[in-house]
Structure 1
């Protein structure tokens, strides 16, 4: 144990000074806590740990710090699902012990749970799982006027904001203040505040004085139950990061004023855009107003929104706004259901998304085919793609396969009859996760190259049993053995118009393919439209019995 701590200490002091400070900051989090990467980087920025360079933005620099700490094994990466996307980190218990020890020595942060607070003049306060009122203890033992950062996690009580004057970071996450929620009185007096995060902490309202926070950069209101964002939030002209709760109403003409926004997550449910109507995503006038406002946000790097209905005019305005987002790297448009592109491909074909786009999810829109701008020349950095198309052709798969950075592919094919063939060993070199619903895939490696798609670990596709039988395609010969890294397979079996015997044979072939694969990947089989298969069998049995009864009647009549 002692030798391990010495090694960790050497590793810590071997870090550059800026990385030591960023790593030491992780001592504010509870043990085994999953730390979201983007929020951590935003806190580093708010604390002043990240310094801007001429050609690189603050977030990109901070993200580089995060990645370097992972590369040096000082923090442990956390992936989103099994899709290879690093969304956060954890800190090993021994590393956390070292960081807390160093924090005490350097008076970097005061950590307070249910223990008594000793004398401290730290500028950072971390409250963890606190049930008792700490106000008097803090006033007696800690100069709260100098506190620059308050971080509360899983607490039942937090000191009133009136006690603080120079706060730069206020993070209250997963706290329970019973029915009354957390009161944000005196929030407007925190004139130095850069970061306000209230994730999964119920609040009654966001005071209109929030407009006084001229330096606020990050506002995270997910899981707060906040009913409405005050109109004065439009005064936050330095706000670069905004996430609102699913039921939060956003006043009209507010979003378009926040021209410094780099990241916007807005996923409203019903009654979301203004109090006088249903969701602006389900009424065209409100939707048009919103998507037009998006066109003012030319600094956007990340946009995640939801639109429940898309008329022709709304779609046209949306595309026009997207044309102004020359810095967009992450684009996700969701809906309550999948809707047909009313304007067709011609309008979407005219859009020019930036070459540095890394994440694209337009799966709530039915496209007649893959847009022409999805190719390696236009989107060389694309690593995540999710789309819905009527049909996919073999040449479409070849185009997708040449995207050099593509790691995750979700493709819903509306008319997926037969099987789509992926040929050759030059395609999908980095693809780790592939989900192609409603269509069957066949893998055909090149001559002399027994394997293909070397990085693919997770594969999901559909099997139309009747369609494959009509096309004379054998489920046991889909080429799964040519995928050397395969670990998980999920197959949706379309049983419609298929016999029980044919479905069972298809499942047996797929199980055999998984069992004989060198990696023995896990196989999950899900039957769809099973009732249609059973009804078809029952109908056939009834017809057969009816024919037999007729034959018997005819024989009896002949005998007579």
Structure 2
């Protein structure tokens, strides 16, 4: 199985996707991917109830054909043993679950013809000497580890797994590193890779990037999980289509408005304040190609630093919006007029009004909705025709959910987390076929404050049993007999 996102960016780096008027390279690659699905060459793996294809696989017969053609045409050489010598005509080398020793054939072989070097779940004692590669376009180390890395007591640039001579890979388009790569650092010479298009370091353990990254004018995708991103000069990175950064400083926002080609934006802020959020929302207005926005801010229990942004954030292409940070209420710009194509919405709120669910119900394309609301989600008595395409609903810290006829008629999965109280939870509306005719799965978690007092603990357990019994009964009498998962969770006082 292959993750679609990474696969398409590999195609871009290999030169299989070509520019088309009005479309980015990733969008062209997506069209190729969909064509392969339509022709049954690859099989899509869809995230349940989300209408999102996140991975793909191939039938065994197709896989055998791929292996045969790859070997016959010397397209890819797959090495599964440290003793396997790659052919002199090898253009693409794939290594899976190997131990790469100091004197291993793969590590020391001169690979002047190799265009793509892919290592998956390998254990390195030494990296191949990068200066051996003359035509490399793709360098990918996925879920790899370095053995004995803690035993070395030397400068990082002297480690045998340091990216020494990285700047000599003048044809490199794709650099991807993930998982347990201790003490690995990116050298300043990365700025010399003027053709680099994809820098995938989201799970690499690398702590910082050199300022020379700001010289990568052809960069289209940057995923990085480290910090100190505010020091980079973003004015030259105007080709970026996808950007994911962790521990972002407020200084980063100064250059955000220049990245007008962005389709995907994923930001994690180490802290938040009122002005930071307003500044971010104000700059997003200029990024009209955005399709995905994920903003995560580590917040305290007090939501006061967040205030609503009163401006208009009209993004006609936006399909996915996640705001993980406690907002006092539903922002005014989250409505079907500003975001007409929104399909997936997830957010954390302090409180909701009854009209808020009515506003959300007008999103005609909404497929998934996840709301974490401290004070509970308020369901109005009537919302006829609301949420016409919603397939997945997740409510956390919610009060009594109430479903009515003609609302969420396409709902297939309902996830619920609620605090049980003395009055219990009655799931009667969940049981009526005409209310949720498409329901297939229910996942519920009941929370209760048990404390140390035995009477409180016994009362909470009793409330849990009552809520579970009500939910079980509702599921059993529903004509679809949806699958049920229920559990209880203790909360501290």
The answer on whether the counterparts of 1:75 and 1:91 sit within 8 Å (CA) in structure 2 is: yes
Q: Gapped runs of 5+ residues in structure 1?
A: 1-33, 269-280, 282-286, 447-451, 533-560
* Deviation of 1:441 (Å): 1.7
* Deviation of 1:49 (Å): 0.6
Q: Is residue 512 of structure 1 aligned with residue 473 of structure 2?
A: yes
User: In structure 2, do the counterparts of structure 1 residues 440 and 228 end up closer, same or farther at CA, with 3 Å as the change threshold?
Assistant: same
The answer on whether the counterparts of 2:107 and 2:128 sit within 8 Å (CA) in structure 1 is: no
- 2:93 aligned residue: 125
Inter-partner Cα distance in structure 2 for 1:327 and 1:341: 31
Among 387, 400, 403, the alignment partner of 2:363 is 403
- 1:374 aligned residue: 334
- 2:244 aligned residue: 265
Moved more, 328-337 or 287-296: 287-296
Once the two structures are superposed, the pairs formed by residues 147-546 of structure 1 within 5 Å of their partners are 147-157=114-124, 158-180=127-149, 182-200=161-179, 202=181, 204-245=184-225, 247-250=226-229, 252-255=231-234, 257-268=236-247, 287-337=249-299, 340=303, 342=305, 344-345=307-308, 348-368=309-329, 370-416=330-376, 420-421=379-380, 423=382, 426-437=385-396, 438-446=398-406, 452-463=407-418, 465-466=420-421, 474-479=426-431, 481=433, 482-493=435-446, 495=448, 503-527=464-488
TM-superposition CA deviations, 1:443-471 (whole Å, max 9, x none)? 1115xxxxx534322112345554856xx
The answer on whether the counterparts of 2:100 and 2:106 sit within 8 Å (CA) in structure 1 is: no
Inter-partner Cα distance in structure 2 for 1:196 and 1:454: 45
| SS across alignment from 1:144 | coil
Question: Which of the pair is proportionally richer in strand?
Answer: 2
The answer on whether the counterparts of 2:306 and 2:327 sit within 8 Å (CA) in structure 1 is: no
TM-superposition CA deviations, 1:126-167 (whole Å, max 9, x none)? 222232559885699x97222211111122345321111111
TM-score by structure 1 length?
Answer: 0.76
| SS across alignment from 1:198 | strand
Inter-partner Cα distance in structure 2 for 1:506 and 1:138: 60
How big is the alpha-carbon RMSD for the aligned residues of Structure 1 and Structure 2? 3.0
* Deviation of 1:424 (Å): 5.5
Question: Which of the pair is proportionally richer in helix?
Answer: 1
User: In structure 2, do the counterparts of structure 1 residues 503 and 156 end up closer, same or farther at CA, with 3 Å as the change threshold?
Assistant: closer
Inter-partner Cα distance in structure 2 for 1:527 and 1:118: 55
The answer on whether the counterparts of 2:420 and 2:467 sit within 8 Å (CA) in structure 1 is: yes
* Deviation of 1:435 (Å): 0.8
TM-score by structure 2 length?
Answer: 0.85
* Deviation of 1:93 (Å): 3.1
* Deviation of 1:68 (Å): 2.2
Inter-partner Cα distance in structure 2 for 1:424 and 1:353: 25
Q: Is residue 48 of structure 1 aligned with residue 8 of structure 2?
A: no
| SS across alignment from 1:410 | strand
The answer on whether the counterparts of 1:113 and 1:127 sit within 8 Å (CA) in structure 2 is: yes
* Deviation of 1:358 (Å): 0.7
Q: Gapped runs of 5+ residues in structure 2?
A: 150-159, 450-455
Inter-partner Cα distance in structure 1 for 2:194 and 2:58: 34
Who wins on radius of gyration, i.e. which is larger? 1
Inter-partner Cα distance in structure 1 for 2:316 and 2:408: 24
* Deviation of 1:364 (Å): 0.8
* Deviation of 1:187 (Å): 0.8
- 1:23 aligned residue: none
The answer on whether the counterparts of 2:270 and 2:297 sit within 8 Å (CA) in structure 1 is: yes
